[in-house]
Every structure is written in structure tokens, then in C-alpha cells.
Structure 1
Amino acid sequence: MAGERLLTTIGFDADDTLWQNEQFFRLTEKRFAELLGDHAEPGHLSERLLEAEKRNLGVYGFGIKGFTLSMIETALEVTGGRVPGEVVSQILAAGREMLAHPVETLPHVQETLERLAPTHRIVLITKGDLFDQERKLAQSGLGDFFAAVEIVSDKQPETYQRIFASTGDGPQRAMMVGNSLKSDVVPAIAAGSWGVHVPHELTWVLEHVDAPVGEARFRQIGTLAELPALVEAIG
């Protein structure tokens, strides 16, 4: 570890930054709409499902299990409590399939981590279900790159302050990299860190906020392949 480096610790988001995630939610939502096609139009059903997810975040948290329960709740709502048991069974089966789906790492992840791990502390900071995130990390084959793994219920400025203080040299000498402006970039910058946005073609609507273009520590790159050069430029 170079003692004179300005930047010593790099945090990475997991879902849709290191591996695919949102596309499986979209595919399952499409299947859900087909199951309830006799009771609601797809657009209306999506709106009701999103409202259920918003209500339930504080109860179930982020992840597939909460999504599955929100689908069941929505099915009960749009059918007036008369959803067939077979439909509920298929919703549960869809949730189990999501939890068992093989991990698909995104382009440039392996080589980027290989470039950065020898010179910086690499930390995984992800929110979601503990068991599911641990499963995905194990299946990804990326675990050895990380000096620490933090699976959190939410990402706020104090989250990054705590993690970068305990795993690195404080937030001022840290960078957070992710696809979500709301969760990965904006709160990391508020904590005093660099925030690097790597857009993904699919990002959950509840993760959408405006880019902090006026912030000195905000950067956006097209792919993770550009990250090592950015890290080197910062120093």
C-alpha cells in the first residue's frame, strides 16, 4: 500500500455494478404481469407493485424476498383477495428461481479488480438480503479481491463514514463506485469520499436521482475498464 497515496480505499457496489441483477427483476415482473393478466393491465399492475415495494422497504428491506412478498401483496390487492392459490404458488416459485439464478459478472470486472487490488484496499459495500448477497459473492469468484465485505440495510452518508473509517483511512481518502446515483454516489460524496457513477442500462426506478454534477468529487465513467486510469489520475 503506497503510504503517500491520496486515495487508499475503493468501495464497490455489487448488484448491477459487479454482476447482473435488475434484469432478473424485470423478467420476473413480466411473468407476474402475465399471471395477473385477467385482473389488471400490465402498466397498472407495475404501478401497484412499485407502490407495494415502496411501502415494504422499511419492513422487508431490499432484495428478492421483499420483492416476492410485494408481488403476493399486489396480487391480493388487484384480485380483491381472490387470487388463486396456484398463482401464489407460481409467484413463490419465481422468487425461488431468482434466488437460485447463476451469477453473471459484468464486463471488465475481473481485470479491473486485478489492477486495483495490489495497490488499494478494495471493499464490497452492498445492500440487500444477507444470504442472497453472500451467495452471489461466493458464486462470483471475486471474494479474494476484497479486504472487507459490508452488507448493509441502506446506504446513507453515515454508512460510508463508518465503513471507510473502519476499513480504510477515512472517507476523504476513499472512493465509492456503483451504478446507483442515489445509493452509491450521492451519499458517498456527502460523506467526504469520491463518488464514481458507472451507469447500467437497467436501474431500479427508486434509485433514480439527479447527478451531482457540481460536486468536485463526482465522476462518471462509461465502463469499469476506465476506472484504473481515473484512480491513477486522482493519485
Structure 2
Amino acid sequence: MARDLTTIGFDADDTLWQNEQFFRATERRLTELLADHAPDVDVAARLLEAERRNLGLYGFGIKGFTLSMVETAIEVSGGAVPAAVIAEIVAAGREMLAHPIEILPHARETLERLAGHYRLVLVTKGDLFDQERKLNQSGLGDLFEAVEIVSDKSADTYRRVFSRHGDGPARAMMVGNSLKSDVVPAIEAGGWGIHVPHELTWVLEHVEAPLAAPRFRQIDDLGELPALIESLE
């Protein structure tokens, strides 16, 4: 396999297991709950505004999303939303935190094939408790030599992670569904960035693909990753 590559980082949400679909379903539920209280409002758009505004305060994850839903409900209803609706919104967030993990196709077999040949590192952002819960339920934890749950992903993040758990970013690869979080900053740090598109990607994670970058690659699913690595020799 690629002789200079020693470390492979994997994103978690929507790379190893489903995630965004639960946010979308809860967003639709919020719209339904507020239909009688804000009938002429684009609730999804207002929720996105709140999420964008609150990222610096709440970070990524379900808890911040739930708080943004509550804030949106209060704003679009002019403060008239009933307490019962707020309770349902909170309950919807709690349900998301308890939802069973759905592993994506090829995730387990790809990790099993690569483990032992490379240092595998899980690099995920979001709420600490929730990410730990999902990793434990996934049954994939033993395949990783290290786990990094970070508040955000930047080039500095990957420099630190791959220096701590590997031989530096130049000999590392990051695999994930988000161009903005998983691919572009990993390449900026000096590593490989492998994009595995997911059918649902949060709009705040959208950026242009770095097509001109020599260390950028895209694959259709994780099952293609071992062959890609072999082609990099």
C-alpha cells in the first residue's frame, strides 16, 4: 500500500454512520409543530439562521440544534408559542440523542481491512457525550488507535491530531463526507483529503471541491478506499 502513508483519519457522522437524516426529519417536525403559530414563515430558513448565529456559542451537535429550535420557535411566533410546543421540541432533541446508530455501507469491512496496516484515528466534531455514545454503540471503537472529538476542524486541528497520533500530516489522510471540514483543511495541513459524498450534507458544510489540489481524491463509497490507497504507491 502507499509507502509514505502511515495514518488515516476518519470522520464519523455521515461517513461511518447516518446523522444528517435525523436532523432533517426533526426540522420537518419543527415546521409541523409551528404551522399554527407561524403559518407564513419559512421555519427551516429561520432555523438555519439561528444555527449559523449560534455556532460560536453552542458549537456543533444535537444540543445546540435543539436550543436553536427553541429560539426559532419563540422568534417566529413573536413569543406566543405555547409551553407545550416547547416541550415537544425538547422531546424531539432528546429522541435524537437516543436514536440507534445506523452504520453506513462498507464502513466496517473497510476499517477492518485497513486496521493493522495503518494507524486509524477517528476525528469528529460535536458534543462529547453524544459522539462517545455513538462510537460505543457502533461497535467500531476497537478499530481505532485514537479518538479525537474536537469543537471544530481546521488545518491546525489536523496538524495537531496527525502529529500527536502519527508522523505528521504529510504522511496522513483524512476521509470524510464534508469538503469544508474533512477534506479542504486536511489538504491545507499538508495531508491527503478523500471526499466520500453523502446524499445529505448540511448546507453550512458546503464549499467548492479543491479539484486542482494534488492530494484531493473523491470516491463513491468507503468500499473504494483500499483500492484508492493502493493506487497512490
TM-score bracket, normalised by the shorter chain, equals over 0.9
Contact 1:28 1:94 survives alignment (8 Å): yes
Superposed CA offset, 1:124-157 (max 9, x none) = 0000000000000000000000000000000000
Aligned residue for 1:220? 218
Which residue does the alignment assign to 2:99? 101
Whether 1:156 aligns to 2:151 is: no
Cα distance in 1, alignment partners of residues 41 and 70 from structure 2: 17
| Structure 2 segments unaligned to the other structure (5+ residues) | none
Q: How many residues align?
A: 233
- Which of 36, 39, 47 matches 1:38? 36
For the residues of structure 1 that align with 2:39 and 2:106, how far apart are their CA atoms? Answer: 39
State the partner residue of 1:20.
18
Find the aligned partners of 2:178 and 2:40 in 1 and give their Cα distance.
26
Q: 1:184 and 1:115 mapped to 2: Cα distance?
A: 21
User: Residues 52 and 70 of structure 1 are in contact (CA less than 8 Å); yes or no, is this contact kept in structure 2?
Assistant: yes
Residue 5 of structure 1 deviates from its aligned partner by 2.2
Q: In the TM superposition, what are the counterparts of 1:37-116 in structure 2 within 5 Å?
A: 37-41=35-39, 44-116=42-114
Confirm or deny: 8 A CA contact 2:41 2:76 kept in the other structure.
no
Name the residue aligned to 1:234: 232
Whether the 8 Å CA contact 1:6–1:234 is kept in 2: the answer is no
In the alignment, the residues of structure 2 paired with residue 231 and residue 137 of structure 1 have an alpha-carbon distance, to the nearest angstrom, of 25
CA deviations on 1:90-126 (whole Å, 9 max, x unpaired) are 0000000000000000000010001100200000000
Correspondence for 2:117 among 113, 119, 125: 119
* TM-score, scaled to structure 1: 0.97
Give, as a single letter, the amino acid of the residue that structure 1 aligns with 2:201. T
* Structure 2 Cα separation of the partners of residues 209 and 42 of structure 1: 31
2:148 match: secondary structure: strand
Uncovered stretches (5+) of structure 1, i.e. residues with no partner: none
- Cα drift, residue 49 of structure 1: 0.3
Distance 1:179 1:160 in 2: 16
> Equivalent of 1:10, from 3, 8, 11?
8
| Counterpart residue number, 2:27 | 29
1:128 and 1:153 in contact (8 A); partners too: yes
Note if 1:210 corresponds to 2:211.
no
Structure 1 contact 33–42 (Cα < 8 Å) conserved: no
AA of the residue aligned to 1:92: V
Q: Corresponding residue for 1:199?
A: 197
Cα deviations by residue, 1:174-221 (Å, 9 ceiling, x for unpaired): 000000000000000000000000000000000000000000000000
Q: CA deviation at 1:38?
A: 1.5
- Structure 1 residues 17 and 107: CA distance shift in structure 2, 3 A: same
Q: Distance in 2 between matches of 1:175 and 1:77?
A: 43
| TM-score for both structures, normalised by structure 2 | 0.98
**Cα distance in 1 between the residues matched to 2:227 and 2:119:** 17
Please list every run of at least 4 consecutive aligned residues from structure 1 whose deviation after the TM superposition is greater than 6 angstroms. none
* Percent of pairs with identical residues: 73
Contact 1:7–1:234 (CA<8 Å) still a contact in 2? no
CA distance in 2 between partners of 1:56 and 1:134 (Å):
23
